[in-house]
Amino acid sequence: MKEYDVIVVGAGHAGAEAALAAARLGGDTLALTVDLDNIALMACNPAIGGPAKSQIVREIDALGGEMAKNIDRSFIQLRMLNTGKGPAVRSLRAQADKKSYSLNMKRVLEEEENLNIRQGIVTELLVGDGVVKGVKLKTGIEFYGKKIILTTGTFLKGSIIIGDHSFNSGPHHQFPANALSEHLEELGFELRRFKTGTSPRVDKRTIDFSQLIKQPGSEGDISFSFTELSSTQLKEQVPCWLVRTNEKTHQIIRDNIDLSPLYAGDIEGEGPRYCPSIEDKVMKYPEKERHQIFVEPEGEYIFEMYLSGFSTCLPESIQVKMLHSLPGFEEAKIIRPGYAIEYDCVNPLQLKPTLETKVIKGLYTAGQINGTSGYEEAGAQGLIAGINAMRQLQGEEAVILKRSEAYIGVLIDDLVTKGTNEPYRMLTSRAEYRLVLRQDNADLRLTPLGYQLGLITEKRYQKFKAKKEAIEQEKQRLKNYKIYPEDEVQSYLRKVDSTEISRDDTLGRLLRRPELNYEKLAGLDKERADLAPEVIKQVEIQLKYEGYIKKQLKQIEKKKELEEQQIPEEIDYEQIEGLSAEALEKLKKVEPISVGQASRIAGVTPADISLLVVYLQKLKREVTKENQHE
């Protein structure tokens, strides 16, 4: 009887990362999927990145994951967003060729040494004694594994709704996973029903682009992965387009709103606020006269166009009318209608920060099944679940990223500490330390960990170390580089539209001036060496915003004590006298691993935390005392 180390159920964005991580860490891994032709399928927007998400993609890359590389292989347009709002929120977004993305990822999985991929629908988990042992497929066949990772996305009891039509289905009309959902409930999982939606797809040849506004890509050498700069490989970026709804569109929606299952009450699932359907936007914001729709190619070689911002589940006939009301779309043909999808997901409060479930040992869940939404969020969880499944197998300490280390840390901490009542999407405003969690420094933050885990090659690590050293050296050099209020200096400063210095200064300090940058200082810098652009960028950001960065580091330092204070797994909260009833209930449910995590639980007050700290100390002393007696 063959027993795998890790079985990953699902090969979407979470599943792909989980399977790759497990295999790369030496695990004999099996990935199962409903449809082998839809690996890492982008069910919605053909795009990766954007605010908070590009940060995640780069974190995945620094930890040895695949998403960044795969989008670098498959993009057809790149845009740098938020360029003027500060380095922490600058973010890259790529339009992907949807099919290439999927195929490229499939190829990577196929080529991975310890990884087997196979088509099949899991209907049951094999569980013995509270420990997971394997999976059973719809066809009756069983596979055994020491660790199982569920990444079933929107497939659990998936139900597609278009107008008054609704049918049991996974996304993009793939088979749904019904039996597994019921089985999970029997095992003790609290399932919830969430909802999301997607827009109609249109034949490119039926759109009059002269009436649309062209959205070209950004110029320059940019990529997601820190390993290679790949934008040059694209001969020409494919443009996106912008169009706006108008009064006519809104009228059609208002006239037919009672046909929307959202409004007729046929949909019970909780939908995301940040991803409203067009009917929601029109009904909830009647004062807004128009809404933007981005028209995005689904691929380089096909004619299918995605209408971002036009998600709807109105009946098809109405979708056609709405579409024809848009300028340039008078003759447009829908080739796939928009739809809403409802699905089951688990309550993430039933998870540990390692993404192992509290319900069944050895079972992990990652991705949309945990109540999130988005490819990047899914990929990040998949990676962490894959790593932790293998670490546990190998008897190593689990990887739990801190909120001050990575967006991935924020994501998982939010999920397992606060839970979520709507599909959770990452936003930069969720990260309290976002100034230090930039997309540009993700490698500096996480490559050492990736290397230590064994997911970053020696070669890449050496390259990383060299980069890091170069940054430090250059920073020191600029900080020590003195300049004096001499004529030559003053006239140069005036020339670059800055102001004169009144006394001795350093280049490092001059760099803080908003109007100056590294390049502009060249004329004052006689010892400048030829440095790589990514080194210069780091030097510039780190010196320019040093004051603010230090402030944030200080905030992190202040909370460190709480974060580092562990709560033993076997703690009995009933023993802590004086805890409020609410705190008691929440602490028992969440099972926080540190005092820091406990302090973030809604309903746990500072007084409760004080009691907890005192109690923990008491426990510790009792242990030392006992040891002394022995």
Partner 1 sequence: MYFKDTIAAISTAVGEGGIGIVRVSGAEAISIVDQIFKAYAKPKQNLKEVAAYTAHYGHIIEPEIEQVVDEVICLVMKAPKTYTQEDIVEIHCHGGSVPLRKILSLVLDMGARLAEPGEFSKRAFLNGRIDLSQAEAIMDVITSKTEAGLQVAMDQLEGGLSKQIEDIRSKLLTLLANLEASIDFPEDEIEGFSFAEVEERLSEVLESVEDLLATSKKGRIIKEGIQTAIVGRPNVGKSSLLNALLRENRAIVTEIPGTTRDVIEEVINIQGIPLKIMDTAGIREAEDEVEKIGVARSQKFLQKADLVLLVLDANLGVTEEDREVMDLAADKDTIVVLNKIDLESNLDVETLKKELATERVIEVSATEEIGINDLEELISELVFAGQVEANDQTLVTSLRHQEALEAAYEYLLTVQETLAQDLPADFLTIDLKAALEELGKITGDTVGEDIIDQIFADFCLGK
Interface positions with ligand FAD (CB under 6 A) = 9-15, 32-35, 43-44, 121-122, 151-155, 171, 177, 180, 196-198, 275, 341, 367-368, 373-375, 378, 425
DSSP three-state, residue 343: strand
State which residue, 297 or 596, has the beta carbon closest to ligand FAD: 297
Q: CB 196 → partner 1: shortest distance, Å?
A: 11
Q: CB 308 → partner 1: shortest distance, Å?
A: 5
Whether the CB-CB separation of 314 and 280 falls below 8 Å is answered with no
Residues binding partner 1: number (CB under 8 A) = 59
Token readout for 570 is 């076997």
Amino acid in the structure at residue 242: L
Which residues have a Cβ under 8 Å from the Cβ of 467 and sit 6 or more positions away? Answer: 443, 532, 534, 535
Distance of alpha carbon 200 from alpha carbon 334, whole angstroms: 6
Report the helix count and the strand count for the chain, using DSSP H and E.
20, 22
Which residues have a Cβ under 8 Å from the Cβ of 120 and sit 6 or more positions away? Answer: 32, 33, 34, 137, 138, 139, 141
State which of positions 405-434 bind partner 1 (CB under 8 A). Answer: 418, 427-430, 432, 434
| Binding pattern for the stretch 263-302 against partner 1, x by CB under 8 A and - elsewhere | ---------xxxxx----x--xx--x--xxxx--------
- Look at the block and give the residue holding tokens 């002393």: 621
**607 touches partner 1 (CB under 8 A):** yes
State which residue, 82 or 506, has the beta carbon closest to partner 1: 82
Residue 163 binding target from ligand FAD, partner 1, none, CB below 5 to 8 Å by type: none
Binding part of the chain for partner 1, among 227-235, 479-487, 521-529, 611-619 by CB under 8 A, reads: 611-619
Which residues have a Cβ under 8 Å from the Cβ of 142 and sit 6 or more positions away? Answer: 126, 134, 135, 136
Token readout for 520 is 């502009």
Residue 13 binding target from partner 1, ligand FAD, none, CB below 5 to 8 Å by type: ligand FAD
| Binding pattern for the stretch 445-464 against partner 1, x by CB under 8 A and - elsewhere | --------------------
State which of positions 331-370 bind partner 1 (CB under 8 A). Answer: none
State which residue, 61 or 280, has the beta carbon closest to partner 1: 280
Q: CB 405 → partner 1: shortest distance, Å?
A: 18
Residue 375 binding target from ligand FAD, partner 1, none, CB below 5 to 8 Å by type: ligand FAD
Amino acid in the structure at residue 98: K
Rounded to the nearest 5°, which phi and psi values hold at 167?
-150, 155
State which of positions 92-121 bind partner 1 (CB under 8 A). Answer: none
State which residue, 233 or 610, has the beta carbon closest to partner 1: 610
Residue 427 binding target from partner 1, ligand FAD, none, CB below 5 to 8 Å by type: partner 1
Whether the CB-CB separation of 248 and 170 falls below 8 Å is answered with no
With vertex at residue 354, the alpha carbon angle to CA 460 and CA 123, rounded to the nearest 5 degrees, is 105
Q: What is the 3-state secondary structure (H, E, C) of 280-304?
A: HHHHHCCCCCCCEEEEEECCCCCCE
Whether the CB-CB separation of 363 and 148 falls below 8 Å is answered with yes
Q: CB 17 → ligand FAD: shortest distance, Å?
A: 8
Distance of alpha carbon 530 from alpha carbon 536, whole angstroms: 10
Distance of alpha carbon 617 from alpha carbon 3, whole angstroms: 43
State which residue, 419 or 592, has the beta carbon closest to ligand FAD: 419
- Look at the block and give the residue holding tokens 């088979």: 175
State which residue, 127 or 212, has the beta carbon closest to partner 1: 212
DSSP three-state, residue 614: helix
| Binding pattern for the stretch 56-95 against partner 1, x by CB under 8 A and - elsewhere | -------------------------xx-xxxxxx------
Cα–chain center distance at 68: 12
**623 touches partner 1 (CB under 8 A):** no
Q: Is 277 left (phi over 0), alpha (psi -120 to 50) or beta?
A: beta
State which of positions 211-250 bind partner 1 (CB under 8 A). Answer: none
Residue 119 binding target from ligand FAD, partner 1, none, CB below 5 to 8 Å by type: none
Which residues have a Cβ under 8 Å from the Cβ of 589 and sit 6 or more positions away? Answer: 349
Q: CB 48 → partner 1: shortest distance, Å?
A: 15
| Binding pattern for the stretch 560-589 against partner 1, x by CB under 8 A and - elsewhere | -x--------------xxx-----------
State which residue, 275 or 408, has the beta carbon closest to partner 1: 275
Identify the burial level of 257 via C-beta atoms within 10 angstroms of its C-beta, where 0-12 means exposed, 13-18 middle and 19 or more buried: middle
Distance of alpha carbon 334 from alpha carbon 203, whole angstroms: 6
| Binding pattern for the stretch 525-544 against partner 1, x by CB under 8 A and - elsewhere | --------------------
Residues that bind partner 1 (CB under 8 A): 45, 51-52, 81-82, 84-89, 272-276, 281, 284-285, 288, 291-294, 308-309, 311, 418, 427-430, 432, 434-435, 514, 545, 548, 551-552, 555, 561, 576-578, 602, 605-607, 610-611, 613-615, 617-618, 621-622, 625
